Amino acid sequence: MHQRSDAPGSHQLPARAGAALAEAKRGNLDAAGMGRYEQNQLMRCDAHPAEGREDCLRRMRGEGTISGSGEGGSVYRELRTTTPAN
């Protein structure tokens, strides 16, 4: 997993995003109270169809693997889940 260690508070971002999402779902946080980073994450996941939105939110919270960098032009986030066959 690749994370920028030089960004202030970068090790706290997944936890902060998850906490912001939980507060928003409870109606205790609006866009003005949300950090720009967390708001951007949630907006990215809103673009996904309903069946993929939760997986997107999990990736944004830091679950799975992350490769690449924003400085390099892209960040690739992957989360593998196993679904039982019918």
> Does residue 26 have a pLDDT over 60?
yes
What is the pLDDT at residue 5? 45
Predicted TM-score (pTM) of the model is 0.52
Task: Provide the token pair at 6.
Answer: 């030089």
Q: 9 or 57: which carries more pLDDT confidence?
A: 57
Structure tokens at 72: 């390099």
The Cα-based distances of 6 to 2, 10, 11, 47, 70 in angstroms read: 12, 8, 10, 30, 13
pLDDT band at 78 (very low <50, low <70, confident <90, very high): very high
Rounded to the nearest 10°, the torsion over CA 51, 45, 16, 27 is: -80
Q: Is a pLDDT exceeding 60 seen at residue 3?
A: no
Q: Which residues pair with 75 in a beta bridge?
A: 68
20 contacts 37 by C-beta, under 8 angstroms: no
